Structure 1
Amino acid sequence: MLDIAPRVRVDVDPLMALQHDLGVCDAIWRIAPGGKADAMSAPHLPKVAGIDPAVVDAPHTAAPASVRPLSPTPHPGAPGTLIQDRLAGMVSDLTTLHELTERLAREGDLDAALQELLRAGAALVGARRGLIVLEPADGLGPAVTIGLGLGRAELGHIETVPRSATSYGRILDGLPDAEGGSDILPEPDATPGAGGYAVPVDPRHREVAARLGYAASYALPLTAEATGRLGAAVWLYDEPAEPSDRQRDLVGLYVQHAAEHLARMLEVARARTRLAALSEELLPSRLPRVPGVQLAARHHTGPHGGGDWYDALPLPEGALGLAVGSVTGSGPSAVAAMGRLRASLRAYAVMEGEDPVAVLSDLELLLRLTEPARSATALFAYCEPARRKILLAGAGHTPPLVVGERRTEYVETSLSAPLGMLSCWEAPSVEIEPAAGETVLLYTDGLLRRTGDAMDRAYARLHAAAAGVPRALRDDPAALVDHVLHTLLPDGLGRPGPGGAGEAGGCTGAGEAPYEDIVLLAARFE
């Protein structure tokens, strides 16, 4: 019978065994003291080194089933927990600001950016209604009022009544700093500042909210470093309320960033407006009146300032010269080149308008000498309204479209290169004879590109739009052009502005900012 020395029961910290890369049993064998075990009786199976024999020993390479943490779990009221909570709140606030500023930066239109600012600010301060007044301090405009959750009558009252006439309309006054302020309207028997209410920053803000029927307001100025005051934002509460300190900090940071973004968008909008005004000034302000023909034109300049143009000028012996063209490039340089090209074509048309090929040849020579790095497309038509006869030539330009009761078809012009592309431009002219009541439609390729379709499909859509003009509108070239624009561009990008038959109208864009100019020139022969 073997004499086996009893073992001593030892409790071993599994963490210590793990740190020494030992199994629990190996650790016990190495640190267990020798000697006799204490007298003890157990009703269950004896354990060796404190390990239940029913449990299989884990391999030496495996981690123990449970390891005590290195540091105890902090108490909910411990300073570490408070710091963690504050850090978590700061991360959450930064994430919110990041998302809101990204959404604002994606807006490419000034009005859309103002709407986004108003919605985001209302969410940050816990309001459901508000308004933004954009009135730059330099007085160059634009002056815009945008409301959120306000009825048309409420917003319209502020917009229509002069702000200098009523104190509640002058919400921009009283906001000299960037701190902003809340204004809780007290009950009739209460006093401002009582019951924890904030003291009004400016009485005009309280009167704005009171006249609109709301209980409280919170206002912030829109101020940029480069431009100064841009306007003000006011959020309105249905019940007496006030944003918390955290909400004030968040909306203050957001509005500060938004004001800088709006300042940049404002400069871009002003530059586009000036460029569009310059482009319009270089085009005819009034179309001539020539017996036997009715004229109408529509022109819209893209935000980048394209070089599309048109012209109509009376010529000797009752003739009429019609021209459309497009200069490559965009911006002020393209607009200036367009103006020089149009003025030169008028001179060539007066000298040799009976020969459209000679007119375009002279224009091509001028373009190569003055604008060697630029090309252009052009179409010139010499019209004799009394004989209903048109002689035209094109240089890489889109073909005219004849619209009438019995036909709607494109004029077959010879294929030619744009001006400035070849060392010597030359193309034969084409003669057409429109019937009485037919309209010849001249246009630039910007109209086709604005559809967003491939060119062959865009041509088909333009043909279908012209063919579908109601009979009642065919006698008026302005109505015909408007119908084509509305049909071809149903999203409103081709909506005409002021100007009807016999005058050059404009087009006001909506929706996404367009990048192509639109030119349409219609001549209806009687």
Structure 2
Amino acid sequence: MLDIAPLVRVHVDAWIAAQNDMGVCDAIARNAPVGKPTAVSAPHLPKVAGIDSAVPSPTHTATPLPGVPAAPLPPGALIQDRLAGWVSDLTTLHELTERLVRTGSLDDALHELLSAGASLVGARRGMAVLEPADGLGPATTVGFGLAHADLGTIETVPRSATSFGRILEGLPDPVAIPGPVAVPDLLGEAELDPRHREVAARLGYAASYALPLATEAAGRLGAVVWLYDEPAEPSERRRHLVGLYGRYATEHLARLLELERARVQVATVAEELLPSRLPRVPGVQLAARHRTGPQGGGDWYDALPLPEGALGLAVGSVSGTGPSALAAMGRLRASLRAYAVMEGEDPVAVLSDLELLLRLTEPARSATALFAYCEPKQRKIVLAGAGHTPPLIIGDHRTEFVETSLSAPLGMLACWEAPSVELVPAPGETVLLYTDGLLRRTGDPIDRAFARLHAAAVSVPKADRTDPAAVADHVLRTMLPDGLGDTADGEDVVLLAARFE
């Protein structure tokens, strides 16, 4: 048994604990045993990426002078040096993975992967190609230190001639996991594709190191490549570190990819449940804007032609998020269309029937709704609301909210009934229906959000007031200048604008 000082033994125990916590115990096995001191301190190190061979060796490993006996090494000095290097590597991996796990979108994660990988392999530029092997997408290319035009230039090179292309297309089996591809001297390769040589010379890179984004659990998601300005390649230690980081990044990307696909599917279902196009009714122009939240809410709108040239307009919101809310929204909208055809001239009766249906079929769910029966030729509107936000009239001479009677949402009372309201918009005025998601997305208290909505409607340019789509877009941009964003609690936003001629 070696006689190791107590301090060294404590360091060994702490290091082993850190290895177990990080889950990279294979870092020990992947490192070769320490050789003799003179072999470690060779004066001429080979040139590798990110390591300067001109930096002098540490004093305790310096080559002894000729004729002078070497000083004896302190007990455990080599073990301490090696453990210090391993602890430093583990600390670096921990910091980089912590930064990666805080990313919430595929683009952010790919940019973080490129940046962290560049520091690990000692490169300055790189690009990531996301192409899941299952073919379900999404497919994207992200650059690091490369302009959009540079990415386009690289994509003109045949994939079979690039290092990342060998990973993406080199194996016919989509389940197989390829290894990294290092090209230490691109311009020195006699068999390099002429087009690749031309692109490399134009962009100024001379070497590359490509890493697959693939694990047994996640499958093959794509590849990432880092580019060097001069002929170089990462050392074995750097390859091992970036390999560990790449496997962790692949698992994180797989989780984000699953979330992104779920969001796209929910958004697609929500759009399919809404009108594919708005009807054309003489005397009125229609425009709608619908933005689905990340989790998929139950906000909806509808516009349907009714007998004798009438028009039914409706907006509403179902409680909850996700597929169940979307299904409930589809059922509620379909039921309202049926009631509107049968007794649309009486909005109170339409909402009363809807209240009864919701209470009998889905007693645990509530909803808000507003239905308006319009006669465009007479510019007459009769509307009723159930717990819904009041419409807004926008015109050259007035911009005001419609005073509707107060009512609880559907499903909240044993029997719902509230009086309807009649209004006659002037020629050229626009009636704006919307859901409360527009107000809640601002993050302001509800009274302040209403004030912001009124101010946004007042500020609609006069030239845009002849187009209901321009009115809706202006209100949306003014209320949410930073866009809708992708916050997890983001609600749906619906606007339905009707301009009467």
User: What TM-score range do you get, normalising by the shorter chain?
Assistant: 0.7 to 0.9
Q: Would the aligned equivalents of 1:179 and 1:252 in 2 still touch at CA under 8 Å?
A: no
Identity score, percent: 75
Unaligned runs of 5+ in 2: 1-70
> Does 2:396 align with 1:405?
yes
Classify the secondary structure of the residue corresponding to 1:94.
helix
Specify whether residues 396 and 385 from structure 1 end up closer, same or farther in structure 2 by C-alpha distance, changes over 3 A only. Answer: same
* Aligned match of 1:490: 481
Deviations 1:341-361 (A, max 9, x none): 000000000000001011011
Deviations 1:42-77 (A, max 9, x none): xxxxxxxxxxxxxxxxxxxxxxxxxxxxxxxxx883
The aligned counterpart of 2:353 is 362
Aligned pairs (5 A) from 1:79-478? 80-158=76-154, 170=165, 172-174=168-170, 177-188=177-188, 209=200, 212-478=203-469
TM-score of the superposition, structure 2-length normalised?
A: 0.80
CA contact (8 A) 1:168 1:204 kept: no
Indicate conservation of the 8 Å contact 2:113/2:249, yes or no: yes
Structure 1 letter corresponding to 2:500: F
Q: Which moved more, 1:290-299 or 1:446-455?
A: 446-455
- Which protein has the larger Cα radius of gyration, Structure 1 or Structure 2? 1
Q: 1:474 aligns to what SS in structure 2?
A: helix
Report Cα offsets for 1:155-188 as digits up to 9, x if no partner.
13356x5967987894623376453122122555
For 1:304 and 1:353, the matched residues in 2 are separated by 33
Q: Hey, what's the Cα distance between the residues in 1 that align with 2:159 and 2:200?
A: 18
Q: Cα gap change, 1:224/1:389 in structure 2, threshold over 3 Å: closer, same or farther?
A: farther
Equivalents in 1 of 2:73, 2:362: separation in Å? 77
Query: Counterparts of 1:512 and 1:128 in 2: how far apart (Å)?
Result: 32
The structural deviation recorded for 1:288 is 0.1
Residues 125, 168 of structure 1: CA spacing in aligned structure 2 closer, same or farther, 3 A cutoff?
closer
Shift of 1:208: 7.1
Distance in 1 (alpha carbons) for counterparts of 2:395 and 2:177: 64
- Which structure: greater helix fraction? 2
Kept in 2, the 8 Å contact 1:399–1:413? The answer is yes
- What SS does structure 1 have at the residue aligned with 2:408? coil
Call closer, same or farther: CA 1:162–1:130 in 2, change over 3 Å.
closer
- For 1:236 and 1:253, how far apart are their aligned partners in 2? 19
Q: How many residues are paired up?
A: 426
Q: 1:444 to 1:350 in 2, by over 3 A?
A: same
Deviation of the 1:232 alpha carbon: 0.2
Distance 2:287 2:442 in 1: 22
CA deviations on 1:252-284 (whole Å, 9 max, x unpaired) are 111100100101110111011011101100000
TM-aligned CA distance change 1:391 to 1:142, over 3 Å: same
Q: CA deviation at 1:125?
A: 1.1
Structure 1 residue matching 2:225: 3-state secondary structure: strand
Q: Which amino acid aligns with 1:184?
A: P
Q: Cα 1:164–1:257, aligned 2, differ >3 Å: closer, same or farther? A: closer
* Residue type of the alignment partner of 1:182: A
Match of 1:52 in 2: none
Do 2:432 and 2:496's aligned partners in 1 also have CA atoms closer than 8 Å? yes
C-alpha separation between the residues in 1 aligned to 2:198 and 2:133? 23
Q: Which moved more, 1:129-138 or 1:94-103?
A: 94-103
CA distance in 1, matches of 2:140, 2:152: 12
Give me the whole-angstrom Cα distance separating, in 1, the residues matched to 2:97 and 2:122.
18
- Distance in 2 between residues matched to 1:457 and 1:385, nearest whole Å: 33
Q: Is the 8 A contact 1:219 1:235 kept in 2?
A: yes
Aligned to 1:56: none
Question: Aligned equivalents of 2:457 and 2:332: distance in 1?
Answer: 29
- Provide Cα deviations, 1:97-138, integer angstroms capped at 9, x if missing partner: 112111111111111111111111111111111100000001
Q: Shift of residue 492 of structure 1?
A: 2.4
Deviations 1:222-261 (A, max 9, x none): 0133341100000111111211222111111111001001
In the alignment, is the contact (CA less than 8 A) between 1:167 and 1:204 conserved in 2? no
DSSP-derived class of the 2:76 partner: helix
Do the aligned partners of residues 224 and 370 (structure 1) sit closer, same or farther apart at CA in structure 2, a change above 3 Å counting? farther
- Name the CA shift for 1:76/1:346 in 2 (closer, same or farther; >3 Å): farther
> Does the 8 Å contact 1:491/1:511 carry over to 2?
no
CA RMSD of aligned residues (A): 2.4
Partner AA of 1:94 in structure 2: L
- Secondary structure at the residue paired with 2:498? strand
Query: Which residue is 2:493 aligned to?
Result: 518
State the distance in 1 between where 2:73 and 2:275 align: 78
Counterpart Cα distance in 2 of 1:167 and 1:254? 22
CA distance in 2: counterparts of 1:146 and 1:281, whole angstroms: 31
Other structure's SS at 1:391 match: strand
Looking at structure 1, the residues matched to 459 and 492 of structure 2 have their Cα atoms a distance apart, in angstroms, of: 24
Q: Residues 458, 386 of structure 1: CA spacing in aligned structure 2 closer, same or farther, 3 A cutoff?
A: same
Note if contact 2:161-2:196 (Cα within 8 Å) is conserved in structure 1.
no
Comparing 338-347 and 123-132, the one that deviates more: 123-132
Mark the runs of 5 or more structure 1 residues left unpaired by the alignment: 1-74, 193-199, 494-509
State the AA in 1 paired with 2:246.
V
Change (3 A) 1:374 1:281: same
Q: 2:403 is aligned with what amino acid?
A: E
1:479 counterpart residue number: 470
In structure 2, the CA distance between the partners of 1:399 and 1:163, relative to structure 1 (3 Å rule), is farther
Residue 182 of structure 2 aligns with an amino acid whose one-letter code is S
Q: Is the 8 Å Cα contact of residues 163 and 208 (structure 2) preserved in structure 1?
A: no
